[in-house]
Structure 1
């Protein structure tokens, strides 16, 4: 989405949590860039001067001695809690004063308001008086946040409410104080915890993920406003204590230097920058630590209800007027489930995959589908094998078996394999072949990734492919983890094209002897499918295939995939819209 973030010296930026921490550093950097106006919001009261006994003292131990002496002088008992509270307040005062001074030195104008952003009426009243002198607000940076770290079993409702309110209620209240259509930008300070999670921060992760999703809604509602939720990794400052620094060091996570992070925000708001509504800023991704193997091989049972409404993508995979679950989506379902049993292990292959009874999204759809997983082999070298069966039960108690396979997970998937028979030249005779017309394939927009058939003979097919990104909502209950079923579906599509071309029959996937994935086949990138036709048995066709990029690096290899063909499928392929 193109937006024109126009910041200049007349801009008025409202910043929650802007008096201190990393938000303050970003504010100072914006002042250096644009010499604009700022309204900083914070909970701390800003006094005109420090107590006489505190002036010129910056040593923590000495300051606390003076605080204790002040309590005694006033005839009050100096408890540790009271002393720490005064000490924290003093540090906050000093940090806010430094922020204001540095903004002014950079050429910016600044007003500081002591206001609780979760109190809407008070916030509106205080802002109204300030806006009269600064002018209307043109941008919002919502950096306020509160932590209440505890393991979830120790969390209280008050902990949750405190953390949630600062992020979500705070944002709603900020937006209630302005006319959003007048805003050039809205920046939300989220956290990498929303994506990866973190022990003791379930409420913080939830609140930040809601911020992320809110950014998309705001961007859609106000298309001329640049909206972004920044999932910051750990900064070298702010809420990151020395203890946390040690933890991040053990995870090999580099902290974001204050200067670097602040400049990233400035770059995000430059007029020429066309960002998305959500971005993650980290030195590196966090890899899940492999979960220890269970002491004994185990079996697992998972249940799932499927609906057409929850899975919009299947509307583009319909024939005979009915939506059908793609075979590759059933493999993704199985692979995703196995990965959840052992986090840190990745899907590598499935063997002896069979479509026993496909799932159709019509009146035959079961109220519940069962996925049974059984460990059949484990190795300390980082390899686990599962046997999987997907089934359901009719209203009369009759079991229906839908898919079966064996799945292999690895800690480290082998990579950098290259396809030796690289030939990407175009056969001119195939330029007029359009697979998604005249019933050759029934697939609609979200599955239409075959861009050109480059080569096709009685024993081989090569296709150039690229599939547009399918948004997460459309993926529904079949999201991409390490296996992309939507791009992988093009393997079967290519075999269906070959069958139609040489036998004039519609065909459907039936089974796969072996599928190995070395890298996920990506959206929005060109790749190639090469098929070798192994056997033609009138109604059953077998092929092996390889998926690779323009340099020949292999994404996936598949052995003995079988489709079953029938003349009765031909008219069904033409009827590829849902009835009703």
Structure 2
């Protein structure tokens, strides 16, 4: 943020771990809660109170997130950037102490105009071994510390709010349930703050691992074995400053790309707004759970496919990887108000693989779905292997399962015409597409109804083998070899991969044609169905699978 003209430069208060934002004639108040030693371990800060006033006018940018060196020349570096600095030892969760510090800053330098919150501690343990005190220490430093800063600057003319989050908030890290939860909570607070401060720059930056600072040689080796590249300092600085200087979503990720260099923040996501309501998507009234329409995974797959094919028009086939359901999109006011969604596409990495990161978010930045898109295999795929023959199974009409107990779907989602097999090994069925059920004409890139039918069959397979309802929460990969709605009936084959105590994994094949002349339309590999015991109806499912010996 650049300060405007005036006799007294404004003040920015930075939370522990953040560097003063450099600028001409800028003054910053800085406090630290805890530092990391060179091995990455947390230590209480040994920095005392310092204040340095200089007349230097040279602008210099310091890398964000780095550990401040305990070097007597460091104040001169900041002075060279034209900054006055104040170092304060304080606990981010100590509201009274932080209030005192901010009062001193206002008295000497004027109102607070910027906040950078980067406080953080870790206490890595498995959940079973983690104590309540350890969890609270990690969580409160992030969340309570952030709330303290926001509350105590409520009446200040704040123009910048930046919280340093972590990719662990989105991807998770072993032993860091508290750290991941804290960062995710902080991102949600940031999204809400962006609404309260429409004229300010408000960001939560989910950092990936850096090539310096908190990452020791041991950490770097650990990430190398995992194939996770580190964020180089110079690229990270440019990315961070670009985020603060340009408009964008409240929550962003800045991490190194697959080729070992960071995705530049200048490669900003392309954002498409999607409006969902009774006028735009009337068929969703038949995808209601407990009377509330819900956006199906298959429709998000359609949106992701459109975005990917628009960005990669030269590729006929498409591969979507690591499709993740982060939260349900419930359309609570479906009949009277459109729900706005933002679809973000951004190049993934800097190589020549034409990969795209796709994210579906709320306007406030809450993440609903994510995936990686790239070109698929050229040429036809072989037909799926046949399911084991069960002579005792009798084919059932699809109408038998749309009773509200086994499948909740309304008439416009009744894609299953015949169930040809159902056992612990898998399931088979015939599906009809969108044109058969008179869905509205559109520039469809997939047959969304057939795709939904594939996941319906996966749910029926889980119900038959585990007597429990399940929801699709992730798909390892989706190979799409056809475009648009289909006219002919589609054969769906579900193959069991694993069945556990909390979820089940399966592969799904969608084909057209018969007698060895089948054409593969799509393959879902590694569909994760998460059990929902609260929705289970084993007694009703038994009526359908009683002949499955």
* TM-score, scaled relative to structure 2: 0.49
More helix per residue: 1 or 2? 1
* TM-score, scaled relative to structure 1: 0.47
User: Which structure is larger by alpha-carbon Rg, 1 or 2?
Assistant: 1
